A and B are shown apart, each in its own frame.
Chain A
Amino acid sequence: MIMALSVYDFVDKDGRSVIALWRDGLTKRSQAQFDLKLHMLRVSGWDLCPQLVVGPINKTGHIYKLKVYADVMLRPMLCKGPFDMNSECTFLIGAKEVQGRLIPGPDKAAENRNILLADRTRRVPHAW
């Protein structure tokens, strides 16, 4: 049974995907690592690939991080749904992990999720 997910990106006030902008700033090697992990998530869902997605990592229990070991420890943050928790996920912000600390922190991802919950237009389908 294929557990494909629909993947969305949170967009800033100007309608730009925060994840696409973040990815553009990565090295080619890091982009390749990130893309592969994203493809695996899209194709096989949350549970098949071990330790691909970790979480929830914040107090409210909605924020997850995608683990990507690249030139730096990339940790883009995402949530399930938030409108259909079973079949979709939304990338909320790009991040990296330095000495066990996420930069930016999960609070920023949670803030973006709250903005999205109040305004469904603040996300777009991920452009592959």
Chain B
Amino acid sequence: MHGDIEQSIRKNLQDREYAEEYAASFLNSYIATQIKVIREQRGLTQAELGVLVGTTQAGVSRYENVNYSSWSLKTLVKLAHAFAVRLKVSFEPYGTLADEVIRFDRQRLERIARENDPGIFIQQDQTRGEPCGVVDLGEYKALQGTDWMSKENMGGDIYGSHGNHEGKSSRDVGTGCTYEHGKSSSFGLYSAVGGQV
């Protein structure tokens, strides 16, 4: 869809000075926008998030500015804890940047919270031998860009385990495996609620 931009970015990134500035600007824009997107996904106001990370509404507003550049790992870790996600910092080649820019949208910035994360809860349920329902894990894996959902990593075949728990639908409540539509996810996932971590 954005082939014209993609070509232009790749060409301009051949210049080192341009590439460094462009990448830095994207990083700042990415962080600021993702903070706003996940805060909205969690239903938090800027003031409420400020309380969780020990700053003011104005402080959060400063973080949610694509031109803000004074990030510290300490602040980002606090935000990650407030959002119930982990912080990932990674060095990357320039060649992947154009693709990240042209695919920049709200859905790719959203993250499910730990308590709704099937990467934790489903694995645990498998360990206990209590299969729980999963909807479209392949899509989740693709969107998250990880390999944790592989059969090997999961220690068995989870894809056929939608299922009946005590003879009831996997979406039933009160069967030991309770499911609800992932409130925090826009991917249409179902998540196990109430498990122990």
Residues of chain A having any CB pair with chain B under 8 Å: 1-4, 28-29, 31-33, 35-37, 39-40, 42-44, 48-52, 67-69, 128
Contacts and interface: CB of A to CB of B under 8 A. Distances in A.
A26 B58 CA distance: 32
Interface stretch (B102-110, B141-149, B169-177): B102-110
B110 to A, nearest CB: 12
A48 B105 CA distance: 8
B26 interface: yes
Q: 3 tightest A-B contacts by CB?
A: A32-B21, A32-B22, A36-B25
Given A43-B105, A44-B104, A48-B105, A37 B25 contact: yes
A49 to B, nearest CB: 5
Given A2-B105, A36-B25, A48-B105, A28 B18 contact: yes
A34 B42 CA distance: 31
Contact of A42 (B5, B15, B33): B5
A128 B7 contact: yes
Contact of B12 (A32, A42, A44, A68): A32
Nearest to A36: B25
Contacts of A4: 1-2
B36 interface: yes
A50 B33 contact: yes
Which has the most chain A C-beta neighbours within 10 Å: B7, B8, B18, B69?
A: B18
